[in-house]
Amino acid sequence: MKQLSVFILLSIIVFSCKPAKDKKPADPAYIAAVDEWHNKRIERLKSPTGWLSLVGLHWLNEGENKFGSDSSNQLIFPKNAPAFCGSFFLQNGKVSLAVAKGIQIIQNGKPVTQMELISDVDSNTTRLQMNSLRFFVIKRGHEFAIRLRDTENPLISSFKGIERYPVDPAWLIEAKFEAYDPPKIIGVPTIMGTIDSSKCPGILVFEIDGDTHRLEPVLEEGSDELFIIFGDKTNGSETYGGGRFLYSKKPGADNKVIIDFNKAYNPPCVFTEFATCPLPPPQNKLPVKITAGEKMWGKKHH
């Protein structure tokens, strides 16, 4: 009788468990395509304009901001920069540059001595070069900063890639797109503690293991893809605590969107302290584990 009771109890446990996510047959061509996408991402990270090249983020104060490697400057550049390079001037929402005598800073292949700088909110951003250093102005809200790269940053050569979950076609999920008319403005928190206002064209509705979930994507200016900033139950243990990113194509006439969680990737803040990353808004924190895409890089689990 005791053995029978144990059998009945085990049977109840087994049959009351939620069924596992449906397994889809692994298509070698699909797996190869995801691998190729990831390899290209690694190439971009290691490129001279990739996130691994970042070595500085210097916020500007109104007025003069002297820069160079000497500690007396307001903006202290790396040791491979001259001691005193010149000054950035922030005045009434505009940034200009004055180069110190004897210092060579290049813009479009030509030395400059002084000029007004166009920030990254414009496609014609002014990009400057000084030896292996590259720098330009970024604008975040009403604040301006100098983003600094070094094409010889040791992190680039030492980078060994990013661990991923195995590519699983079951994480290629079809979602229904429900448009907002007009598009909704949502608040997207950032690692800097600010809230950015972003345009959300609609909501993505989909199922995982029979449960319905929703994500609100952002539509960036000029983009033909939906940008999804999401969190899940792997954050802080297996993946970055600040969530992950992915892109999906905009819906067609059938209002269907394919969410490929195998292409979920780490925000730049995983690799550098000099990035200004968006974080998942509360409604985009999924109450499930998304065991697909990139895992945490290094030991940072914010």
Upstream peptide bond of 281 is cis (omega within 30 degrees of 0): no
Classify residue 193 as left (phi > 0), alpha (psi -120 to 50) or beta: left
Domains and CATH numbers, the chain: 51-150 (2.60.200.20), 163-284 (no CATH)
Which residues is 90 bridged to in the sheet?
A: 63, 95
- Of 218, 74, 196, 83, the C-alpha closest to 146 is 74
pTM: 0.84
Distance CA 297, CA 102 (A): 41
pLDDT tens for each residue of the chain, 302 residues long: 444 343 333 343 333 333 345 555 678 999 999 999 999 999 999 999 999 999 999 999 999 999 999 999 999 999 999 999 999 999 999 999 999 999 999 999 999 999 999 999 998 999 999 999 999 999 998 999 999 999 999 999 999 999 999 999 999 999 999 999 999 999 999 998 999 999 999 999 999 999 999 999 999 888 989 999 999 999 999 999 999 999 999 999 999 999 999 999 999 999 999 999 999 999 999 999 999 999 999 754 33
